[in-house]
Structure 1
Amino acid sequence: MTYFIDRRPNAKHKSAVNRQRFLERYRKHIKRSVEEAVNRRSITDMERGENVSIPAKDISEPVFQHGPGGARNIVSPGNKEFVAGDKIRRPSGQGGGGGAGEGGPSNQGEGVDEFAFTLSREEFLEFVFDGLELPHLQRKPLKSLEEVKMVRAGLSRDGVPSRISITRSMREAYARRIAMRAPIKRALREAIDALEAEERKDTVLRNPTRIAELKAEIERLEKRIAGVPFIDTYDLRYHQLSAQPQPSNQAVMFCVMDVSGSMTQNHKDIAKRFFLLLYLFLEKHYEKVELVFVRHHTAAREVSEEEFFYSRETGGTIVSSALNLVNKIIEKRYPVGQWNLYVAQASDGDNWDDDSNICRDLLVKQLMPQLQYYAYVEITPHDHQSLWHEYESVVKEFPERFAMRQIVEAGDIYPVFRELFKRRLSQS
């Protein structure tokens, strides 16, 4: 019988395996609590865990117990009141009021509090971004040798035990045993034949000395055959691994934010929250995603992360300046054949009179043929303006790769984000 012992270390006083099993079992309840927490707290406060409560009735387990009535034998340790044959009075039933999860108003009975526990930062973000992904992410041709995959590259006589090839090692051992035993077996057959021939001779002609020598030779050869090892270190073969370059799934996300005078402080705060949520999502799920931050009013500039979120610069509105800058950066630094290209734009929809048509042409003719996905969020409680209407024509041209949503207040950020980056069943 084979015994498997799991010696994987768990954290002190915790069982990681049981915790993961618990999180998976009550995933629906935890996800609902996480969504409520996201709507309560600010996006800048997303990097800490969360206290989650599950109603007691939802974690109750079925229990087998004896029904009422019948004759039963019970051992009651420490009993000083009853003896065998006594009848025990039924419970009055007035003290057992509310059971688990029945915590309604009452002057009697007992209840059970909700089961509460704390999600770590990693677990919290896992539930926040569950079911989300970058749409249409593709494997691009190799750009550098950083991304490799270890593949088998033949066999070697040297290696570590975890890479041993059982089948090839046993085959080598079998071949070695055949090769080592063949001449011994041939000599053994000859000795046996000679012994039989000697024993068939008449008693007068039989040579006792020769017979003794043959028997000793046979015994020696049989010991040599038995001494051939079943497997030897010479037989062992190990899988050889080599690093094989792999196509890269690297991507770049352009974060484009309108900071013109028409964007109120509330609009800018909502845009920053949206991009912070996007930043956390990319940081959590992707290792090879670069971020390019672009701010624009009448002119667009590529800025640092710090300046993107906290600069106080403002001005008029020409959206095409940002789109032109994004196109130039792509041509200069991010070849289409090597990068997955994404753009997320946040604006209040206000734009210079004749610039919206230019934006549409830039998207249809230059940007969208290169991009994997374009997400546009318009932050306004009012009716849509010309930019939105021009973008609707872009949606008709690229229905799978161009998406636009409206955000009215801060509570809309998370639902809109999930709609824009929800997991697709198929990728183009």
Structure 2
Amino acid sequence: MKDFNLSYGHWDLYHKALKDEQRHDEKVQEAIKNNLAHLLSEESIIMTNGEGMARLPVRSMDEYKLRYGSNDSSQVGQGDGSSAVGDTIGKLPAQSQGKGEGAGDQPGVNYYEANVSLDDIEAHLFKDLELPFLEKKENGNEGEVEEFIYRDIRKSGVMGNLDKKRTLFSAMKRNTIKGTPGIYPITRDDLRFKTWEDVRKPESRAVVFALMDTSGSMGAFEKYIARSFFFWMKRFLETKYASVKIIYIAHHTQARVCDEEEFFSKGESGGTICSSVYEKALEMIEESYSPKLYNLYPVHFSDGDNLSSDNNKCVELVKKLTALSTLFSYGEINPYYRQSTLMKVYEQIKNEKNRFFIFKDKQDIYPALKHFFSVKEKATS
């Protein structure tokens, strides 16, 4: 049988020879890793619920080739063998060095703009994220995750589980032994089927409360940052955990539980009373999500423009909520470099189960995710 290769690649990047594809892919993955902060704020992905594509510049991988030059310019040689690591053995001609001013006359660096999908980004992002301090609760009340693991190959089974590769190999082997090399005929004895085993493993259950300020002071930029963060948080939790529930609560002067679509799309107005969302979360914990049964992770986003007379009440409720939770996180969207009165009182709370973060621009989404969803050493008392 004639040998052949099957290959898949992005057409706009992998149009070179097949032998370069692996090196290009390495460059793409390196570019994604180095540009996560930019990609996580990409509107083409966020606004299409993860179905969009981002464009990322990737340096070209041209093959090495010989160039012939004239002898009328200074050259850089290999040296006479007496040089050590780090020694300068030559300099570029003066005309090729940048002057640092003016438009410049030197060629730039070739690069391609590669399409980057959500899967490409998530592969790099999620490996660094996890729920901090996740615990198995008492009384054996961990959630159970069911998995199907293919452990064996048999000669009987349903056609949907037919292992085509092993079936063809068995037919070729049998026909070759008979002196008629080839795939056909395929007999019933050649069929091979994958079989699986149901595996149930314990996993600690968790509830994440997504709390978002939707008052009139939350402008388009503030709402975009909050929803972008919660978008990636949702993707991360659904990808890495099978028994994590997300509760969406929006608030202005009053708080209300809403569904996912409403949380990510509808806007509101009015004043800001942050204590309302903490009271709603505490109410739900008392009614349905006991800390004895669940790991609790409230995550609140606001611009910090809270009613001043409500700040002290917020501090007391945050302390109460923190005592019941595995971790309490607060993100403040503040692109104006001012200190809000709400963050000022929150920073006075000294508890290892509290994490705070101030957003200045879109690229803060990535460090905020790592700050809220990473395991750190617990402070010693």
Contact persistence 1:135–1:427 (CA under 8 A): no
In structure 1, the residue matched to 2:375 is 424
Distance 1:130 1:145 in 2: 22
Counterparts in 2 of 1:33 and 1:93: CA distance versus 1, 3 Å: same
Aligned partner of 1:410 among 354, 362, 368? 362
In structure 1, the residue matched to 2:258 is 303
Distance 2:109 2:279 in 1: 62
Q: CA deviation at 1:53?
A: 4.8
1:44 maps to amino acid: M
Counterparts in 2 of 1:320 and 1:145: CA distance versus 1, 3 Å: closer
Larger helix fraction of residues: 1
Aligned partner of 1:247 among 177, 202, 218? 202
2:34 maps to amino acid: R
Partner deviation per Cα, 1:376-420 (whole Å, 9 max, x = no partner): 1111225223321221122x1x13x21111123334333333333
Q: CA deviation at 1:146?
A: 4.0
Contact persistence 1:140–1:247 (CA under 8 A): no
In structure 2, the residue matched to 1:13 is 7
Contact persistence 1:350–1:387 (CA under 8 A): yes
Q: CA deviation at 1:49?
A: 4.3
Q: CA deviation at 1:338?
A: 2.2
Unaligned ranges ≥5, structure 1: 1-9, 66-90, 95-101, 152-158, 163-240
Distance 2:124 2:207 in 1: 24
Q: CA deviation at 1:301?
A: 0.8
In structure 1, the residue matched to 2:308 is 353
Contact persistence 2:37–2:365 (CA under 8 A): no
Question: Does 2:41 match 1:44?
Answer: no
1:424 maps to amino acid: V
Question: Does 2:323 match 1:369?
Answer: yes
Unaligned ranges ≥5, structure 2: 10-18, 71-95, 99-103, 155-195
Aligned residues: 290
**TM-score by structure 2 length?**
0.62
Partner deviation per Cα, 1:318-347 (whole Å, 9 max, x = no partner): 211110110111121112122121111111
Question: Does 2:243 match 1:288?
Answer: yes
Partner deviation per Cα, 1:74-122 (whole Å, 9 max, x = no partner): xxxxxxxxxxxxxxxxx9656xxxxxxx9x9999xx9995477544431
Question: Does 2:325 match 1:321?
Answer: no
2:330 maps to amino acid: Y
In structure 2, the residue matched to 1:69 is none
Q: Secondary structure at the match of 1:337?
A: coil
In structure 2, the residue matched to 1:125 is 122
In structure 2, the residue matched to 1:134 is 131
Q: Secondary structure at the match of 1:368?
A: helix
Distance 1:427 1:48 in 2: 39
Counterparts in 2 of 1:405 and 1:245: CA distance versus 1, 3 Å: same
Distance 1:312 1:370 in 2: 30
Counterparts in 2 of 1:23 and 1:320: CA distance versus 1, 3 Å: same
Q: CA deviation at 1:302?
A: 0.7
Partner deviation per Cα, 1:164-190 (whole Å, 9 max, x = no partner): xxxxxxxxxxxxxxxxxxxxxxxxxxx
Partner deviation per Cα, 1:216-266 (whole Å, 9 max, x = no partner): xxxxxxxxxxxxxxxxxxxxxxxxx99786432221111111122332333
| Pair member with larger Rg | 1
Contact persistence 2:299–2:328 (CA under 8 A): yes
1:288 maps to amino acid: S
Counterparts in 2 of 1:118 and 1:356: CA distance versus 1, 3 Å: same
Distance 2:128 2:143 in 1: 31
